[in-house]
Amino acid sequence: MNKVVTFGEIMLRLSPEGYYRFLQANKFDVNYGGSEANVAISLANYGINSVFITKIPSNEIGQAAINTLRQYNVDTNSIVRGGERLGIYYMEKGASQRPSKVIYDRAYSSISQAKPTDFNWDEIFNDAEWFHFSGITPALSKQLSQICITACKKAKQHNVTVSCDLNYRSKLWTTTEANKIMTEIMPYVDVCIANEEDIDKVFGIKAENTDVEKGKINYQGYESVAKQIHDKFGCKIVACTLRTSISASDNKFTSILYDGEKIYQPKEYSIHIVDRVGGGDSFAAGLIYGILQKMSLQDSLEFATAASCLKHSIEGDFNIVTVEEVENLSKGNGTGRVQR
């Protein structure tokens, strides 16, 4: 069975019920989530041997996060215990023309205080095929950025494929800081994944005739962006999700992929959003799964895009779908008719 290792932070997610605003809330729904944990859970749902690496406090909240991962068959045996707290993020879901909002409370979380000696990468990568992390993880602390670089170097020593979702977060670091660290990391990355804004903000490579704030996406411009990333860093694959935001409730969603020779593009989906968070993570997991299953790059991209589309219909961070459900959508069954 394929073994995929993901590395990052899992957080406690607190959300007002339904579409209530923070200022209206007198109670919160409790969930857990985080980019690499979301990827791990998606892959476990697809039957992949999925290993999540992090550092979590030795208290009941930390244990609850681990229990959640175990519920979805994620391997938690290499998670490090210690530190003071689990990071928290507050999520207010947007609707119509009102955008969603996220407030982070993750300073001094256990993973952000991790030390290089916490992780035995030689042991972690034993029998592994793939290593995935996002740009969020090195943004959490200077020490963690160096741990990510060490992990990438160790992955290459073990002949492990490395993927990175750029996932730029302006509340965690500046574009200058992101550029410096990610430029150091990217030579180890085989598969680079990004959304329509990440590459511009991290590397200053912008698609022509595109304004994401106004919902204007020039797909041809992103072909050039993908090729520039490929040429600059030598990534084998560059994949970009492309989202046309009509409103907080309705988006059009597709993607592109470049392998150094050819541009691939799947079908586009019109999505009515239930929960926006985790869409990119679902795409990353779908792409990893397709490649590991020896699908063609076109079919892998179709699978990844369909997986992300389905995630937008599910509450919480996790994409709780099966391979069959994703394949049905990717093959054209998107009417949403009742199954009985």
The residue-averaged pLDDT of 125-143 equals: 97
The encoded tokens of residue 248 equal 């907080």
Contact criterion met (CB below 8 Å) for 118 and 80: yes
> Which residue type, as a one-letter code, is found at position 216?
K
Examine residue 155 and state whether it is found in any structural domain, yes or no.
yes
pLDDT at 216: 62
pLDDT at 220: 76
Cα–Cα distance for residue pair 197/280, rounded to 1 Å: 12
What would the pLDDT profile of 44-103 be if each residue is shown by its tens digit?
A: 999 999 999 999 999 999 999 999 999 999 999 999 999 999 999 999 999 999 999 999
Cα–Cα distance for residue pair 326/303, rounded to 1 Å: 6
**Alpha carbon of 64 to those of 11, 37, 55, 89: distances in Å?**
11, 14, 14, 16
Q: Where residue 311 falls among pLDDT bands split at 50, 70, 90?
A: very high
Question: Total domain count for the chain?
Answer: 1
Q: Where residue 209 falls among pLDDT bands split at 50, 70, 90?
A: low
The greatest distance separating any two alpha carbons of the chain, rounded to the nearest whole angstrom, comes to 54
Cα 306 from chain centroid (whole Å): 15
pLDDT at 222: 84
> Which residue type, as a one-letter code, is found at position 314?
I
Share of the chain above pLDDT 70, in %: 95
The residue-averaged pLDDT of 299-308 equals: 98
Cα–Cα distance for residue pair 181/259, rounded to 1 Å: 24
Examine residue 336 and state whether it is found in any structural domain, yes or no.
no
pLDDT at 280: 95
Contact criterion met (CB below 8 Å) for 256 and 274: no
How many residues in the chain?
340
Examine residue 56 and state whether it is found in any structural domain, yes or no.
yes
Cα–Cα distance for residue pair 74/39, rounded to 1 Å: 10
Examine residue 339 and state whether it is found in any structural domain, yes or no.
no
Dihedral sign for Cα atoms in the order 288, 290, 293, 297: negative
Examine residue 297 and state whether it is found in any structural domain, yes or no.
yes
Indicate which CATH number applies to the domain containing 294.
3.40.1190.20
Share of the chain above pLDDT 90, in %: 88
pLDDT at 146: 97
Examine residue 340 and state whether it is found in any structural domain, yes or no.
no
Examine residue 85 and state whether it is found in any structural domain, yes or no.
yes
Flag whether pLDDT at 219 surpasses 80: no
Tally the C-alpha atoms within 13 A of residue 289's C-alpha that lie toward its C-beta. 30
Examine residue 244 and state whether it is found in any structural domain, yes or no.
yes
What average pLDDT does the structure give for the chain? 94
What would the pLDDT profile of 267-293 be if each residue is shown by its tens digit?
A: 999 999 999 999 999 999 999 999 999
By residue range, what is the domain housing residue 38?
Answer: 3-329
3-state secondary structure the chain: CCEEEEECCCEEEEEECCCCCHHHCCCEEEEEECHHHHHHHHHHHCCCEEEEECEECCCHHHHHHHHHHHHCCCECCCCEECCCCCCEEEEECCECCECCEEEEECCCCCHHHCCHHHCCHHHHCCCCCEEEEECHHHHCCHHHHHHHHHHHHHHHHCCCEEEEECCCCCCCCCHHHHHHHHHHHHHHCCEEEECCCHHHHHHCCCCCCCEHHHCECCHHHHHHHHHHHHHHHCCCEEEEEEEEECCCCEEEEEEEEECCCCEECCCCEEEECCCCCCHHHHHHHHHHHHHHCCCCHHHHHHHHHHHHHHHCCCCCCCCCCCHHHHHHHHCCCCCCCCCC
Flag whether pLDDT at 340 surpasses 60: no
